Structure 1
Amino acid sequence: MKLGTIRLNGTPTVIARVEGNIAVAVDMPDMEALIISGNEGLEKANNAINAARAGTAATIDVSAADWMAPNPRASKILGCAVNNKNLNQHAFKPMKSPMFFTKGRSALTGHNKPIVLLERHGRCIPEPEPVAVFGKLAKDVPQEKILDHIFGWTMTNDVTASGIKFGEDSIALNMDPKFTAPHHFAWREKFGDQDNYVYFVYHARSKAADTFASMGPWITTKDEVPNPNNLAIRGYVDGDMYCEDSTANYFFPVERVLHEANIWFTMEPGDCVHCGTASKGTPNHPKGNIGTFLSQYKNTEVEIESLGRLLNTIEQR
């Protein structure tokens, strides 16, 4: 089952896909209410689909719908950084565990909506990723049971503004050795005894700016995604494929990512976790996503097996 949120006559409305671009409204206050209600909400959605097919419920053509993110009120959006073997081959030391950054729900935008790039963002790259949507409260759930707490899957274009990340949100402090400890340098190569630089990078503006969490158009319920660790992912700019990858190429499997998240954060129904970027390039774009600069294009798309396709236009200000 595929579920989404659109503005219908200006009002946020939960919908279920009947077939193709045809959907039907579901009588729920919002997507989070549907998720929290569990089987009751799914049954309401299924009944609405059946009514539409029987001709007893009005259908909606969503080909030109005013899309919102599937759950526009998520309390938390987490991203898992650098979770791709193609990127980690360049690491000085392998990561010990998944690394996270956060986005606020103000970063959310929907299918067919613009991704807004400010001049100060500098170079911005796309990151096509699947997103796990939690269906039940999860805290310290073991890895082998964490998928039981997932409601479904959607996808995101996790835009990253490397220009502002390195131009304004990074700083290297040459610290007096009396203020440093071994953990400050264990993760990186140290160039001699005089190299006492401690590096700080802050990701709020580079990862969580408005529209930098494009998501949707649908949440696909988990019964239709039997193995999230083997999903084909493709990214496009102006219709040209710049990356073709798979979740099988993740450094940490999806279950490890979600388990690690619920150690540090209480995951609530409707919360979203980006599981890792696709990165592997194509003949036309050998550098993949890290060499694809959104300002050079008019639109960008994410396509993930079983989940569908997410399109956004590029707007520069």
Structure 2
Amino acid sequence: MKLLRYGQRGAEKPGILDNNGKIRDLSGQVDDIAGESLTAAGLAKIATIDVGSLPVVAELGRLGPCVSRTGKFICVGLNYADHAAETGAAIPEEPILFMKATSAITGPNDNVIIPRKSRKTDWEVELGIVIGDEARYVTEADAMKHVAGYCLINDVSEREFQAERGGQWTKGKSADSFGPIGPWMVTRDEIADPQDLKMWLSVDGTMRQNGSTKTMIFGVSFLVHYISQFMSLQPGDIISTGTPPGVGLGMKPPLFLKAGQTIKLGIEGLGEQTQLTVDAA
């Protein structure tokens, strides 16, 4: 299933994409794509619905973030061997974890807002894991049972804030609009192998990233297992799993975003996003 949310910011309704690519209204069936709806039992209930009987959304307007009420937005740094190489970083011995503020979450095609005083805003196409059932101290063998599905993420980053302003990476990752997710969450059963997905990102029509989840250092099941040793994972929590090479920071010379540019990105089976960059008010 491809589950989504549509409507104006703060008033989004739940929806589902049918086999003909039409969006159907789920608001009469579930309150939101969040919480209990993302558990195994919740998804099984949605799967019994006759999608063809649901109202078609005639005027779509805006797509919102595909998941709501996310409690934790956890990111994994330097998780692609080829990306670590382009930045001159060593291959991590364990996953590098940092948090992205949930206030950064936005719709897949909303504007990306370049923060005030930013000089190094960058792009990162990433595979997102959406947690379904609570995960606490899970084994790697059981980890996938706790995954509701996957989504496309642009882990927008301000590199100066991230690396040159002291402290941890969070301040360079958490500006409003720095977490576009969607267009939809694809349930786990529809992705045969999350470690074999093509992914790409372009800026103003120029391809910048063209990679695959094959080069992830730590895979999906290991990450869910690993993170659950340090904190419980709740329904709707998101894990952003790292990016392949081609980020602006890794170019020679480095290249960063400015207002008025168009970012497009996609992951095989998970859809595409398009964002316009604008300056913060």
Q: TM-score, normalised by structure 1?
A: 0.80
Partner residue in 1 for 2:32: 30
Give the 3 Å change call, closer, same or farther, for CA 60–248 of structure 1 in structure 2: same
Larger-gyration structure (1/2): 1
More helix by share: 1
Partner residue in 1 for 2:140: 143
Structure-2 separation of matches of 1:254 and 1:288: 28
Could you tell me which runs of 5 or more consecutive residues in structure 1 were left unpaired when the two chains were aligned: 52-56, 171-200
3-state DSSP of counterpart to 2:14: strand
Give the 3 Å change call, closer, same or farther, for CA 82–308 of structure 1 in structure 2: same
Q: How far is the alpha carbon of 1:294 from its aligned partner? A: 1.9
Structure-1 separation of matches of 2:4 and 2:143: 23
Partner residue in 2 for 1:268: 234
Q: How far is the alpha carbon of 1:41 from its aligned partner? A: 4.1
Letter in 2 for 1:233: M
2:193 pairs with 1:227: yes
Does the Cα contact within 8 Å between 1:141 and 1:259 map onto a contact in 2? yes
**Aligned with 2:76 (options 59, 72, 80):** 80
Write the mapping of 1:125-204 to structure 2, written as runs, cut at 5 A.
125-167=122-164, 169-170=165-166, 201-204=167-170
Identity %: 22
Letter in 2 for 1:102: M
Cα distance per residue 1:37-60 (max 9 Å; x no partner): 534444335524131xxxxx3201
**Aligned with 2:49 (options 14, 34, 47):** 47
2:218 pairs with 1:252: yes
2:65 pairs with 1:69: yes
Partner residue in 2 for 1:303: 266
Partner residue in 2 for 1:54: none
Does the Cα contact within 8 Å between 1:130 and 1:155 map onto a contact in 2? yes
More strand by share: 1
Structure-2 separation of matches of 1:135 and 1:47: 19
Does the Cα contact within 8 Å between 1:22 and 1:61 map onto a contact in 2? no
Give the 3 Å change call, closer, same or farther, for CA 254–37 of structure 1 in structure 2: closer
Structure-2 separation of matches of 1:278 and 1:140: 28
Partner residue in 1 for 2:11: 11
Partner residue in 2 for 1:197: none
3-state DSSP of counterpart to 2:196: coil
The alignment covers a number of residue pairs equal to 277
Write the mapping of 1:93-104 to structure 2, written as runs, cut at 5 A.
93-104=90-101
Does the Cα contact within 8 Å between 2:2 and 2:185 map onto a contact in 1? yes
Partner residue in 2 for 1:173: none
Give the 3 Å change call, closer, same or farther, for CA 133–9 of structure 1 in structure 2: closer
Partner residue in 2 for 1:110: 107
Cα RMSD for the two superposed structures: 2.6
Letter in 2 for 1:276: G
Could you tell me which runs of 5 or more consecutive residues in structure 2 were left unpaired when the two chains were aligned: none
